[in-house]
Amino acid sequence: MDSKILVIDDDSIILFIHRTMIKNSGITVSVDYFLSAEVALEYIMKHKDTCNFLLLLDINMPTMNGWELLDILKDCAFKENINVVMVTSSINESDRTKARTYKQVYEYLTKPIKVADFVALQSHKKVGRFFRPFK
């Protein structure tokens, strides 16, 4: 089964920063970027039978926010293939607490994200495998 990293944030500048940070951290796996949770969900549904996913997910987005996407994915038949790192500007402890209630959420990072954050994720027990180069 393939592994995919999906970066989901409604701010194109943040996506650009994440792209740069990922590139500068030495990660060589394929990463896809989405400006909306809805489009990311469509992509996930299309590839659910062939991929494991790591979502780098923002919370506050229009139309469908990060919590709404997590609520859809937490009970889906392929939930074991969904892994999430929250990447958000929210410093509210209530958001951190809420994130811990989702089994698929393994980390909670606050923006602005740093190269060191991506480097640390490479050795993370649960999500580090997504950062290994494709062969």
What is the tens place of the pLDDT at every residue in 39-69?
A: 999 999 999 999 999 999 999 999 999 999 9
CA 73 to chain centre: 13
Q: Which fold has domain 2-131?
A: Rossmann fold (3.40.50)
Q: Where are the domains of the chain?
A: 2-131
Describe the strand order of the beta sheet including 31-34 as a list of residue ranges: 31-34, 2-8, 51-57, 82-88, 105-110
* Residue 3: pLDDT band with limits 50, 70, 90: confident
Q: What percent of the chain has pLDDT over 90?
A: 67
